[in-house]
Structure 1
Amino acid sequence: MKNKLHFALLDEGSKKEIRRTILKAVAIPGYQVPFASREMPIARGWGTGGLQITLSIIGKEDVLKVIDQGADESVNAVNIKKLVNRTTDVQTTTETEEATIIQSRHRIPEVPLTEKQVLVLQVPIPEPLRWVEPSERKTKQLHAEREYSGAWLMLFEQIMKYGKTATNADHPVLVHDRYVMAPSPIPRYDNPKMDQSESLILLGAGREKKIYAVPPYTKVISLAFEDYPMETESFAGKQCHLCHSTDVFLDELVNPETDETYYQCNDTSYCLATLNNNEKKAGVAVQDAR
């Protein structure tokens, strides 16, 4: 069956068109570049945009990691990884440091990325002004004129209603002091990771047929008022019940038997790696004590 498929599923013409779109997106940080989104063997809304980017840039020497809301073992992540592996035979991994391409839904890994890595984010709604302007023609005009009062008004209304900005995820950012961009539904906690990131960040929306990018070492600032700065999720005084990490994004969980609330690392591979390191250190300490 593999011999009957193109390398990385897509035909060469499709991959070249997507790569040209990526180059334009990199040249104009934060700008949404339209592309001819292809039909994929997964449903639209389940990461077709990110998958098309991954299939277009991946090579035989690459190592792929796929995560969904921090987890390597979710249904979405596992099936995308299987599809790419089946059509490329590339190596896959759960270790962030080992991967050259990381495709993600809703999270940026806890481990800082490097210049040798590419982060591909799946995006459902790429237009940050969609909530205030339903017309695609009008939003293009607003971007061209750098007219972002609608985005600021949305944040102002949240402050008036809740006393603070209430964007739990997908908080809009200003890229390279020019375009307001939707960073994909990552939590506010991950927004600062985009600023001056060493890795190339590519964002794909298959259903909306848009690709945009944040090149390495690019200024990315979350929209916020001077007197109401954007606040990330706080986990002060809390730690992962498994690896005891305190400086990561944590999930709040409830034990169904005791109704006790506890916390766990959202990034499962980071948690496992930290847990293994802690066990190794404990083992060394026991040997030294002997």
Structure 2
Amino acid sequence: MKADTHFAFFDEGSKKEIRRAVLHAVAIPGYQVPFASREMPIARGWGTGGLQITLSIIGREDVLKVIDQGADESVNAVSIKKLVQDTTGVLTTESTQDASVIQSRHRIPEVPLTKEQILVLQVPMPEPLRPVEASEYQTKRLHAEDEYSGAWLLLFEQIMKYGRTATDADHPVVVNDRYLMAPSPIPRFDNPKMHQSEALILLGAGREKKIYAVPPYTDVTSLAFDDYPFTVESFEGKRCRLCGAEDVFMDELIDEENGETVYQCNDTSYCLERLNQQAKAEVEKEHV
């Protein structure tokens, strides 16, 4: 930790204000709580909302993991991790199981999270009704009145145009049978991981100055019609070319040697851990 900075960068007053907003968000699942978003040493739109939450809740004994679209080694993930570590001195890890605080952009880890963990998601646009209503005043009124016909209309238009819902990411969800919520730009594949999650999920939008949350063991339902049920991306019959994993979210790549389409785990630490386990099993097998 650098001696010329506050612990976790912010002064205590700023951290307390953000923590109050977090507590408000936890008390009303899915509700967007306004907060005084601070200036950060990174540009707005690059994860300032999630970073402010992480800096406000992290303690000296925590272990931090930061991922960006499934990767621990991306520029965004490495930069955020370095800022938090430099201003707190906390340990960092690439192992999902070993982390107590996980900050992520665009993914929820493949390894199921536990009640001892907190997942912080970076959010560019927290308002799920923004595509149908530009006014902040009106979207607040619609949420208060539980009036979400505009969101249903968007899904209906997709079905009329494509024959199915065509939301690739950030598919809206209903939290605790009450509030419509943007789950951040995670793929549809990750939406079910929010339902009855053991871990606390916090979502922060720095540019839009909003914090919201999904408390542990909360019902989260992806918006869908009864006759057009919600579906996730299918990787049936596909295997990771490195670790052989199935039933995980994968990246579709082109093999440079033969030009064929191959698949690889999007969650790089999950893939690496499986490879390490396989190598360990082979070594133990040789010694039997």
Q: Tell me the TM-score normalised to structure 2 length.
A: 0.99
Is residue 227 of structure 2 the alignment partner of residue 238 of structure 1? no
How much does 1:77 deviate? 0.1
1:174-253 → structure 2 map (5 Å cutoff): 174-253=174-253
The RMSD of aligned alpha carbons is 0.8
Look up the match of 1:30: 30
Q: Tell me the TM-score normalised to structure 1 length.
A: 0.98
Q: Distance in 1 between matches of 2:158 and 2:63?
A: 42
SS at match of 1:217: coil
SS at match of 1:2: coil
The one-letter code sitting in structure 1 at the alignment partner of 2:192 is: P
Q: Distance in 2 between matches of 1:90 and 1:211?
A: 24
CA deviation profile, 1:243-278 (whole Å, cap 9, x unmatched):
000021000001234221101000000000001111
1:250-269 → structure 2 map (5 Å cutoff): 250-269=250-269
How much does 1:285 deviate? 2.3
Look up the match of 1:59: 59
Q: Distance in 2 between matches of 1:29 and 1:252?
A: 35
The one-letter code sitting in structure 1 at the alignment partner of 2:155 is: L
Look up the match of 2:126: 126
CA deviation profile, 1:36-74 (whole Å, cap 9, x unmatched):
000000000000000000000000000000000000000
Look up the match of 2:105: 105
Q: Distance in 2 between matches of 1:88 and 1:282?
A: 39
The one-letter code sitting in structure 2 at the alignment partner of 1:31 is: Y
How many pairs align? 288
1:146-157 → structure 2 map (5 Å cutoff): 146-157=146-157
Q: Distance in 2 between matches of 1:104 and 1:257?
A: 32
Q: Report % sequence identity.
A: 75
How much does 1:2 deviate? 1.5
Look up the match of 2:71: 71
CA deviation profile, 1:147-178 (whole Å, cap 9, x unmatched):
00000000010011001000000000000000
How much does 1:284 deviate? 2.1
Q: Which moved more, 1:257-266 or 1:163-172?
A: 257-266
The one-letter code sitting in structure 2 at the alignment partner of 1:212 is: Y
Look up the match of 1:275: 275
Unaligned ranges ≥5, structure 2: none
Q: Distance in 1 between matches of 2:151 and 2:247?
A: 30
